[in-house]
Amino acid sequence: MTPSGLIESKLPAVKTTIFSSMSQLAQQHQAINLGQGFPDFDCDPTLIESVHQAMLAGHNQYPPMPGTPVLRQAIATKVSALYHAHYDADSEITITAGATQAIMTSILACVHPGDEVIVIEPAYDSYIPTIQLAGGIPVLVGMRFEDNRFSVDWDLLASKISLKTRCILINSPHNPTGMTFSTADLARLANIVRDTKILLISDEVYEHMVFDGNQHHSVASHAELAQRSFIISSFGKTYHVTGWKVGYVLAPKSLTAEFRKVHQFNVFTVNTPMQVGIAHFMHDHRHHLQLSDFYQEKRDVFRNALANSKFKLLPCDGTYFQCVDYSAISDRSELEFATWLTTEIGVAAIPVSAFYQEQKQNKLVRFCFAKKTETLNAALKRLQQI
């Protein structure tokens, strides 16, 4: 038993994440879990075979600290083809233990005690605790929510810039809202940070899930912004292997050098055979190029099934998340409604208020549609009956 008073928490306000809590509740009540964002289907067996062959070929010891050269080169090739951006595989690409580690390492590399970091809310739950661990001060900028659509209030964000602003954390395609940045958004952001030393951390883990024939506008595609950015992506999200925890960071050479200083003492390096296997799998570009169509089909099934329900569907331009307005169904708070959905209806969701520090209430919950067809159909049947 640990004596009380031996440690003062560095994150006193942090509790078990809403994702773990709702998943546990779903399990207790045998509910269909559309809460936590992971697929319930297997990845391509070719990817498993690629990793297996890498193991058999002896790729089982430490790789180079920045990642295996073959995977870094495959990423450089992909980024060049998609975003017309050149990143040097040796000095500007680093393989990470998933995107969350990449976010933490980026923040630790550049944020000093007392620095301010602008976070756009609603926001992924790791952002603010990581800033606090670095001694930084989160500065929160709420999205504009009008006509049932979320968008970034760039004027409000610009008003939050101060001499202490060290970096801005952005996320597109956006979790949880499904909003995606346009070229106008990137241009506006460039105008805000021009002539400053502000850095950007761009969370782009859903880069290959953009719908309706639109393109993902990566910060990598904007040369001016790219020069001051850590850009983060995730193989777990792209290849349906969230449990593998493999991602990467793109950044100019000078930023990468600082990132790697922290990375080498944070995790040092990442699973070798999975890196080699993923690199081989990436040679067939269809594996990521066809992902938008794959998830759009699931999105459309979900949206069509609820089109005549009491739920009001928000736009979903990207990601594998669908937010809905339940105001025509209940006056409960978002957490209370999500709990009721799980325990009484048998479908788990995430309250969007959980993505705000102050638990802002808009009567919205988020569903994940990265599920098998039979899982979605069973959940939708229950939701349609409300």
At 35-75, the pLDDT tens digits run 988 899 999 999 999 999 999 999 999 999 999 999 999 99
User: Is the per-residue pLDDT at 1 higher than 60?
Assistant: no
pLDDT at position 3 is 62
Supply 256's token pair. 């990468």
CB 23 within 8 A of CB 40: no
Tens of pLDDT along 168-224? 999 999 999 999 999 999 999 999 999 999 999 999 999 999 999 999 999 999 999
pLDDT tens-place string over residues 321-335: 999 999 999 999 999
Q: Which region, left, alpha or beta, applies to residue 381 given φ > 0 means left and ψ of -120 to 50 means alpha?
A: alpha
Q: What is the mean pLDDT of residues 139-156?
A: 96
- Backbone φ, ψ for residue 145 (5° rounding): -125, 100
Q: Average the pLDDT over 77-96 and give the result.
A: 98
Stretch 101-109: mean pLDDT = 98
Position 14 confidence tier, pLDDT thresholds 50, 70, 90: confident
Phi-psi region of 363 (alpha: psi -120 to 50; beta: other; left: phi over 0): left
Instruction: Report the alpha-carbon distance of residue 223 to residue 246 in Å, rounded.
Output: 26
The percent of residues above 70 in pLDDT, for the chain, comes to 99
Q: What does pLDDT average to over the chain? A: 96
Mean pLDDT within 305-319:
97
pLDDT at 62: 97
Q: pTM of the predicted model, to two decimals?
A: 0.96
Q: According to the model, what pLDDT value does residue 281 have?
A: 98
The span from the CA of 59 to the CA of 62, in Å, is 8
Q: Torsions phi, psi of 318, nearest 5?
A: -165, 180
Instruction: Please say if the pLDDT value at position 30 is more than 80.
Output: yes
Which domains are present in the chain? 18-37+289-384 (3.90.1150.10), 45-283 (3.40.640.10)
> Residue 6: which pLDDT band, with cuts at 50, 70 and 90?
confident
- At 2, the pLDDT band (50, 70, 90 cuts) reads low
pLDDT band for position 256 (cuts 50, 70, 90): very high
Q: How high is the pLDDT of residue 4?
A: 63
Q: What are phi and psi of 227, to 5 degrees?
A: -70, -15
